[in-house]
Amino acid sequence: MPSVRAALILLLLAGAARAEEGLPSLTGEPGDPDRGRAIVLSRQRGLCLLCHAGPFPEERFQGDLGPSLAGAGARLSEGQLRLRLVDGRRLNPETIMPSYYRTEGLVRVGPAWQGRPILAAGEIEDVVAFLLTLRD
C-alpha cells in the first residue's frame, strides 16, 4: 500500500513539474505580437483588461483582479505564458482566470459560445508573442 501511495505522489509531482515547464506551441507557427496586442486590448476578444492592468497608458478602465501584465515576458517563459492562457487551473485549480483554450467541463455556456474556446489556437500564439515583448 505505501508503495502505491509513493508511486502516486511521484506521478503527481512529475505532472506538476511538467506543468511548470509550460506548454509547446499550439500551432507550430510563431505568433504575431501586433495581432496579440490588439487581442489583449480588446474588450470583446481578449477581455484581459477586465482583470489585469498593464503598460497601456492610453487604455482607461483597467482591472485589478489579477497581477499587472507589465514585465510578464521577463518573469515567465514562452511555454509558461502559454500554459497560463490555455488552462491556468493546472497550476491553481481555484484561479479566477478563465482557461482560454478549453471547452470541456463548463456549465451552461451561452449558445453563441458553445463548443468554442475563448481564443483560437492561433490567437493564443499571437497573445503569447505579445506578452513576451512586455519586458519591464
Partner 1 sequence: MRRLLPLLLLLGAVAEARESGFALMSPETQAMQRDDDANPAMLWVEEGRALWESAGCSGCHGDVAGMRGVAARYPAFDAAGGGPVDLAGRIAQCQEARQHRMPFARESGEALALAALVGLQSRGMPISPPEDPRLAPALARGEALYRERRGQLDLSCGQCHDENAGRRLAGSPIPEAHPTGYPLYRLEWQGMGSLQRRLRNCMTGVRSEPYAYGAPEYVAIELFLMRRAAGMALETPAVRP
Residues contributing to the site for ligand HEC (CB under 6 A): 40, 46-48, 50-52, 65-67, 69, 72, 75, 81, 84, 88, 92, 95-98, 100, 127, 131
Cα–Cα distance for residue pair 97/126, rounded to 1 Å = 18
Residue 64's binding partner among partner 1, ligand HEC, none (Cβ under 5 to 8 angstroms by kind) is partner 1
Binding region for partner 1 (CB under 8 A) out of 1-9, 15-23, 48-56, 76-84: 48-56
Residue 39, SS3? helix
Is 90:79 a contact under the CB 8 Å cutoff?
Answer: no
Measured from the CB atom, the residue of 104 and 136 that comes closer to partner 1 is 104
End-to-end distance of the chain based on CA atoms, in angstroms? 50
Nearest alpha-carbon partner for 82 in 101, 106, 105: 101
CB of 1 to partner 1, least distance (A): 25
User: 68 and 54 in contact (C-beta within 8 Å)?
Assistant: yes
Q: Exactly one of 58, 104, 112, 136 binds partner 1 (CB under 8 A); which one?
A: 112
**Binder of residue 49, out of ligand HEC, partner 1, none (CB less than 5 to 8 A by kind):** partner 1
Q: Per rule CB under 8 A, is residue 58 in the interface with partner 1?
A: no
Question: Residue 100 and residue 46: Cα distance in Å, rounded?
Answer: 9
